[in-house]
Amino acid sequence: MQNYKITLLKGDGIGPEIVDQAVKVLDRAADKFGFTVTYDEALLGGCAIDATGVPLPDETVAKCKASDSVILGAVGGPKWDNQPGNNRPEAGLLGIRGALGLFANLRPSVIFGPLKSASPIKDDIIGDNMDIMIVRELTGGIYFGERGRGDDCAWDTEKYSVAEVERIARVAFDLAMKRNKKLTSVDKANVLESSRLWRETVIRLSAEYPEVELNHMYVDNCAMQLVRNPKQFDVIVTSNIFGDILSDEASMIAGSIGMLASASLSGGKLGLYEPIHGSAPDIAGLGIANPLATILSVAMMLRYSLAQPEAAQAIEDAVSEVLKTNRTPDIYEEGMNKVSCEQMGDLVCQML
């Protein structure tokens, strides 16, 4: 029987609550589909600062590298706002991505049928089954470039190498081949030199994928088109900062940021899986957090890192079925059963 070793980074705020529910669902899926999971916990973010003085202890990096995959809850909160920039909880998140070589961030924006009414976009615009995959470069660009501050100015540098663009573009092309063979590369090539390099590299690589329809779009136009006509997109590939912004926009088109999962992948099988929402410290401990984005992140882990696609699909189907009659407070609608974080985890397990 296949056994997988998973490191849990529960983090801050609602992180421990939502990860506990995701683990419960993963254990149920393991029992149903004939594999086993063993867990190890490590510190990341504000909880790590409290315990060790730094947001990313060396022990955490070592544990993650020794595992088959990593599940992350969320990091950060007002408690640590007085920390210097290089020692904030978010610095731990950037650090673990770099330490594990997690250069590709996959953020699906999917409309679940029962939640279609939660989207702020009209039905005739989003259609019946909006399914966009945003592929965000995660370890380069302005978040990792040279930065500094003078007496009356500050700067951050956007920088990409050909190799960095090639590897993220290849991930996007490969995903497009498995989906609808359509890829949109988003840049700002009319203004930025780094974007011109990005576009040239993507065009050159496209020769290896003649079946994929490639088009290019400036980021400002893409932001408009996501609202105007999201159905035109299948796979979007873009830089770190553009992907950060566009994926949050796409999440709200889908109706709730509390529903959306993400995968951060390296060149091998190791990945880090997390919801795209924050730590929500204002509701931590109240039992009302929505665990579904974390549960759906587990489904992504089963698909992309653990080679268990049937288990992944079963979790996604179970979530869709449970949503027909049950909601956590953030996605509640009149006539539905309002359930707690723990109850939602139990319901998904029962549906499995």
Catalytic option among 40, 220, 282, 317: 220
Whether 131 is catalytic is no
- Secondary structure class of 13 (helix, strand, coil): coil
- Secondary structure class of 287 (helix, strand, coil): coil
Whether 231 is catalytic is no
Residue 24 CB contacts under 8 Å (≥ 6 apart), including other chains: 345, 346, 349
d(CA 330, CA 316): 19
Catalytic option among 4, 10, 63, 143: 143
Catalytic option among 248, 330, 332, 346: 248
Residue 241 CB contacts under 8 Å (≥ 6 apart), including other chains: 141, 142, 143, 158
Under DSSP, the state recorded for 326 is E
Nearest to 94 by CA among 160, 136, 163, 144: 144
Catalytic option among 10, 244, 273, 304: 244
Whether 20 is catalytic is no
Report residue 9 as tokens. Answer: 């980074």
Catalytic option among 63, 160, 188, 209: 188
Query: What phi, psi does 34 have (nearest 5°)?
Result: 80, 40
- DSSP conformation letters of 20-81: HHHHHHHHHHHHHHT-EEEEEE---THHHHHHHSSSS-HHHHHHHHTSSEEEEEE---GGGT
Nearest to 38 by CA among 2, 1, 71, 4: 4
Whether 4 is catalytic is no
Residue 6 · residue 39 · CB < 8 Å: yes
Task: Characterise 284 by phi-psi region: left (phi > 0), alpha (psi -120 to 50), beta (else).
Answer: beta
Report residue 221 as tokens. Answer: 């136009």
**Which residues carry out catalysis?**
143, 188, 220, 244, 248
